[in-house]
Amino acid sequence: MAHVPTHADSLNPDQGRWVKNRGQVGSTHREAKDKTWVGSSRLYPQSVRLTPEEHDMRILHTMLRVTDLQRSIDFYTQVLGMRLLRQKDYPQGRFTLAFVGYGDESDNTVIEFTHNWDTDRYDLGDAYGHIAIEVDDVYQATEAARQKGARILREAGPMNAGTTIISFIEDPDGYPVEMIGRR
């Protein structure tokens, strides 16, 4: 049975799912004795990963339709530091899938690019928000992205009505990418 989150639970950004808080008050994931987490989970220091008995689902990937596959791969690998994890052509369907991310798909949520060979433009609409990437230094990461040719949508600085440092850049197809500073 799926776990229903309460106010005492936390969202695990590494696994894309809610987790029950189990103690470890005041410790970060790097200090936790069981070493269950890696990544940005220090935002949720009291959380641990759900066991398969507690939850049998997780977010695998987010899909973006892209008009130039190599241009998108280059942007996400060269500007954002991801790796190309796999790529496959589907000639009968006239499309190619490619997956990029910061780690193996078995443990990390990744981005899937779908390149439909006969489509040269997409209407992004106004419902989609953005992808968020955690970085050590938003100011430095934003400047590095600028130097690599990324369009800056919002300069680095505190978020509106808050203190978290963020910026927004745009990928080659116009999808916004938020950079958020580590806490």
Q: What does the alpha-carbon distance between residue 96 and residue 89 come to, in Å, rounded to a whole number?
A: 4
Does one domain contain both 98 and 131? no
The answer, yes or no, to whether residue 165 has pLDDT greater than 80, is yes
pLDDT score, position 50: 65
Give start and end residues of each alpha helix (H) in 66-119.
69-74
Instruction: Please report where in the chains the tokens 């690019």 appear, as a residue.
Output: 113
Of 12, 39, 58, the residue that ends a domain is 58
Over 80: is that where the pLDDT of 7 sits? no
Residue 170 is a catalytic residue: no
Q: What is the mean pLDDT of residues 132-136?
A: 97
Confidence of residue 48 (pLDDT cuts 50, 70, 90): low
Same domain, 142 and 163: yes
Domain that holds residue 182: 124-183
Residue 143 annotated as part of some ligand binding site: no
Of the candidate ranges 20-29, 93-102, 139-148, 171-180, the one whose mean pLDDT is the lowest: 20-29
State yes or no: pLDDT of 172 exceeds 50.
yes
54 is in an annotated binding site: no
CB-neighbour burial class of residue 131 (10 A; exposed 0-12, middle 13-18, buried 19+) = middle
| pLDDT category of residue 176 using cuts at 50, 70 and 90 | very high
Q: Structure pTM?
A: 0.71
More confident residue, 175 or 42: 175
Structure tokens at 95: 């499309």
Please say whether the beta carbons of 94 and 76 come within 8 A: no
Q: Are residues 104 and 139 in the same domain?
A: no
Residue 138 burial by CB count (10 A; 0-12/13-18/19+): exposed, middle or buried? buried
Domain tally, the chain = 3
Whole-angstrom distance, CA of residue 82 vs CA of residue 110:
9
The one catalytic residue among 31, 105, 143, 178: 178
Question: Residue 57's pLDDT is what?
Answer: 86
Q: Which of 71, 100, 122 is the last residue of a domain?
A: 122
What pLDDT score does 136 carry? 96
Residue 94, pLDDT > 90, answer yes
55 is in an annotated binding site: no
**Contact between residue 146 and residue 156 where contact means Cβ atoms under 8 Å apart:** no
